[in-house]
Amino acid sequence: MPVIALAAEQNKAKIVWWVWPILLFVTTFLIGIFGVMAGIGGGVLFVPLVSSFFPFHIDFIRGAGLMIALGSSLAAAPVLLRRNFASLKLAIPVALIASAFSIIGAFGGLWLSRLNPAYIQGSLGVLILLIVIVMLISKSASYPEVKAGNSFAQALQLNGVYFEPTLNREVEWTVHRTLAGLLVFCLVGFLAGMFGLGAGWANVPVLNLLMGAPLKVAVATSSFSLSITDTTAAWIYFNQGAVLPIIIIPSMAGVMIGANIGSRLLPKVNPAMIRNMVIGVLLLAGIRSLLKGFGI
């Protein structure tokens, strides 16, 4: 195995520089398509796949991962906010907690990577395998039953209303288990900053299953709140110099164009099949990251 890995590294070194941004664009274009169709966004696929199969150092890949998640979120947020699917009221406290911890995560990640990049690569592998488990076992509820009288939710006024076209009426919603939800967002923010992953895979189950927001509100608010959570961590990577335009810009273009096409293809495909396929790719990328962490 080490001989094969060494040969692969030598082959990477022989490839002319401009091939890599093109390969990156093609890869992220596919990530954009499948990320949208699987409902997880591109960030969580980008870091493990690119760090496993491309020659860039993981410090730059994590910086790019954050920028990609930020770019995708900024592109989607205005529409989601205007249609009231994303809630500013819900995002403000949730993103405040997550963004504070994403700063700690960003510094933790850069520090760990400086000690030994294999620590980051290996723990990324473990995290991706955990995400696979979360994706396999988590269910969703369109309109979860929420117990009234959660004082924390009332104090923070965590409620809202949106027009649901499939029901042809307005849906009013509130949340519960607010404190537990906010505590989980500490961890979500930390992991987003440390690994440069978008946190949609965690945000949606926490907002929907734990806090009881309707699925549509959970998905949209998750997508929007990434633009706030990832901002603080992205500034840290940016200021530390962990941004290479040659990685970031082709990747952002690929993910954004791919996501656009993916959203158009969505009605024509079987989402369960795509989701299983993405879980399979994540599983492979997680194992590859873990092996790379062990120097294999």
Distance CA 35, CA 12 (A): 26
**Binding characters for other proteins, 68-97, by CB under 8 A (x = yes):** --xx--xx-xxx-xx-x--xxx--xx-xx-
Cβ contacts of 244 within 8 Å, gap of 6 or more: 56, 60, 63, 64
DSSP 200-223: HHHHHHIIIIIS---HHHHHHHHH
- The letter for the amino acid at 190 is F
Of 291, 62, 5, the residue nearest 197 (C-alpha): 62
277 binds other proteins (CB under 8 A): no
118 binds other proteins (CB under 8 A): no
Q: Pick from 3, 4, 10, 17: which binds other proteins (CB under 8 A)?
A: 17
Nearer to other proteins, 173 or 205 (CB): 173
135 binds other proteins (CB under 8 A): no
Residues 159-188 that bind other proteins (CB under 8 A): 159-162, 170, 172-174
255 binds other proteins (CB under 8 A): no
Nearer to other proteins, 138 or 159 (CB): 159
User: Using an 8 Å Cβ cutoff, are 226 and 202 in contact?
Assistant: no
Distance CA 128, CA 40 (A): 13
Our separate counts of H helices and E strands in the chain read: 12, 2
Minimum gap (Å) between residue 176 Cβ and other proteins: 15
Distance CA 141, CA 164 (A): 15
User: Using an 8 Å Cβ cutoff, are 32 and 257 in contact?
Assistant: yes
Nearer to other proteins, 248 or 274 (CB): 248
Minimum gap (Å) between residue 4 Cβ and other proteins: 18
The secondary element (H helix, E strand) that includes residue 284 is helix 271-293
Nearer to other proteins, 115 or 272 (CB): 115
| Residues at the contact surface with other proteins, assessed by CB under 8 A | 13, 17-18, 20, 55-57, 59-60, 67, 70-71, 74-75, 77-79, 81-82, 84, 87-89, 92-93, 95-96, 99-100, 103, 107, 110-111, 113-114, 117, 155-157, 159-162, 170, 172-174, 227-228, 231-236, 238-249, 252-253
